[in-house]
Structure 1
Amino acid sequence: MKEKLRMILAVAGIFLLLPLLLTVFLSGREALRIKKQWNMESVLPMLMCREIPWEYEEEMKKVQAVLTRSSLYLRIEEEGMDGEAWEKLWKEAKAAQRQKGYQQAYRSMEAAVKETEGEMLFYQSKVCEGVFHRISSGATRDGLEVFGKMEKGYLLSVDSNWDMYGDGYLSGHYFSEEALREQLEKAYPGLVFTEEPLEKQINMHKRDKVGYILSLTVGNKTISGEEFRQLLELPSSNFTMQAADRKIRFLCKGQGHGLGLSQYGGNVLAKEGKSYQEILRYYFPECEVKTKKS
């Protein structure tokens, strides 16, 4: 009787495991892991490990959890996120795992995700992108001024003057005239320079109200400040330019695009005892933090 019962249980177990075994056989063990773990909440801690300094305050990590979740939600809505897309995201998120202290950092990010489970940033009853940067120039930027689009109206300019005391707030970046000219000509085929000194052919003619360059002319071409700073790998498009000894220096304020949350500023507020909800309300005064109803 016992043998018969064991046989019945074994056969039942095989039938229960059959879909699992077929998945492994047809797609490999990696696909099995993906199918088991792919959901928004499970991937958030890994994404956060790439996006925020690990030593930041716990309340600031909760802020980041809300913002990262909001952006990921919109990405899923836009792209559909099939298995291949999830796998790509997973591989990108795993990049930080080789760093010392990762496991401890991961646990703290995981705790922040659990504390804010399902919470996202809403503007006019819709989930909006969780926009952030590392350090502002002393105030965040106005989204409507930068993009000219009403849907970016939730990105308001707010004071963040404590950022000016942060490490990396002010930084100088030097290029030889020859190297800079070569880099620009390579990026923009057809770019025409005159015989004038190069610094006279880079004109920053439009800034926003907090000092970030909206557009500039390089030779005969007009480009955005963000495009220029990404091309030269500058930390910010809030910069001035000086020339000396055949070198050109870009003196930058802040780190990142300057829109939305200043992570450094948010961490200062967290150290002062502000909750993650209060920090989000400060940097996104037009938005609400809530859980999306299905």
Structure 2
Amino acid sequence: ADVSTDHRESQAWTSEAQAKQRWGPFKADDYWKKISQAVEGTRGLILTFSGEPINAVFHSTSGGQTASAREVWGFDYPYLQSVACQWDQKSPRYQETKEWALSDLESRLGADAGVMAAAQNGSSAIAQIIDHTASGRVAKVRVGNKTFTGAELREKLELRSTDFSVDVKGDKMIFHTTGYGHGVGLCQYGANGLAKEGRDFRQILTYYYTGVALKNVHGT
């Protein structure tokens, strides 16, 4: 496998010693048992679509609706479709408000965006959402006189998701985000909520990944 030190390109990993340092010895023992049971209980199982292993992408918090791969990355996976998700509302990342000074936006977005010029001219529409995706996330947004995709603005302004609204108050632009992550595939906090309602891993996985099947690669 190709290996990268960039945590965004693969899954982060925590050792048992690190877990004890993070959670304390008593919680860590309890959590480690659950982790071990989950690993042993799913050993050898993979998710497939039409007999082939899937790209099982995931994110932290969907904010009420997951996104399809097509609306986020522009190419379609039949099993990465948008589904409703009302089980992630207790996520600590469900909502966030982030403020940017207009002067800082100018340096982040480029002088050609004309943010300060628009503010000095008294424009009441320094920022305006132009279009939304099928799952309700921002597809296009204009800031100053420049148009960005929701994904571009999220990256440039370090927003938690592309599900956001925007207000301008004085010399600040305020973003209200819902959810955390790209929104495609399995919602981690949603899966946790479903598990607390008694759903097992098969029910959870086949809900977030449309039309998939579980296959035992060990052949038993």
TM, length-normalised to structure 2: 0.78
What letter corresponds to residue 59 of structure 2 in structure 1?
H
Alpha-carbon offset, residue 246 of structure 1 = 1.1
* Equivalent-residue separation in structure 2 for 1:279 and 1:241 (angstroms): 33
Alpha-carbon offset, residue 221 of structure 1 = 4.9
TM, length-normalised to structure 1: 0.60
* Equivalent-residue separation in structure 1 for 2:71 and 2:180 (angstroms): 19
- Equivalenced residue count is 206
Alpha-carbon offset, residue 156 of structure 1 = 1.3
Residue 54 of structure 1 corresponds to which residue in structure 2? none
Residue 279 of structure 1 corresponds to which residue in structure 2? 204
* Equivalent-residue separation in structure 2 for 1:221 and 1:125 (angstroms): 45
Residue 99 of structure 2 corresponds to which residue in structure 1? 174
Higher helix share: 1
Q: Rg: which structure is higher?
A: 1
Residue 124 of structure 1 corresponds to which residue in structure 2? 50
Residue 158 of structure 1 corresponds to which residue in structure 2? 83
Cα deviations by residue, 1:126-147 (Å, 9 ceiling, x for unpaired): 1112211111121111223333
Higher strand share: 2
* Equivalent-residue separation in structure 1 for 2:78 and 2:139 (angstroms): 17
What letter corresponds to residue 267 of structure 1 in structure 2?
N
Cα deviations by residue, 1:7-42 (Å, 9 ceiling, x for unpaired): xxxxxxxxxxxxxxxxxxxxxxxxxxxxxxxxxxxx
* Equivalent-residue separation in structure 1 for 2:140 and 2:47 (angstroms): 30
CA-based RMSD of the aligned residues comes to 3.1
**Any conservation in 2 of the 1:174–1:248 contact (CA below 8 Å)?**
yes
**Any conservation in 2 of the 1:144–1:153 contact (CA below 8 Å)?**
no
Listed as ranges, the matches of 1:95-110 within 5 Å are 97=18, 98-101=21-24, 104=29, 105-110=31-36
**Any conservation in 2 of the 1:193–1:201 contact (CA below 8 Å)?**
no
What letter corresponds to residue 190 of structure 2 in structure 1?
G
**Any conservation in 2 of the 1:239–1:253 contact (CA below 8 Å)?**
yes
**Any conservation in 1 of the 2:87–2:194 contact (CA below 8 Å)?**
no
Mark the CA change 1:165 to 1:108 in structure 2 (over 3 Å): closer, same or farther: closer
Alpha-carbon offset, residue 286 of structure 1 = 1.5
* Equivalent-residue separation in structure 2 for 1:180 and 1:192 (angstroms): 9
Which protein has greater RCO, CA pairs closer than 8 Å, 6+ apart? 2
Identity of paired residues, percent?
A: 30
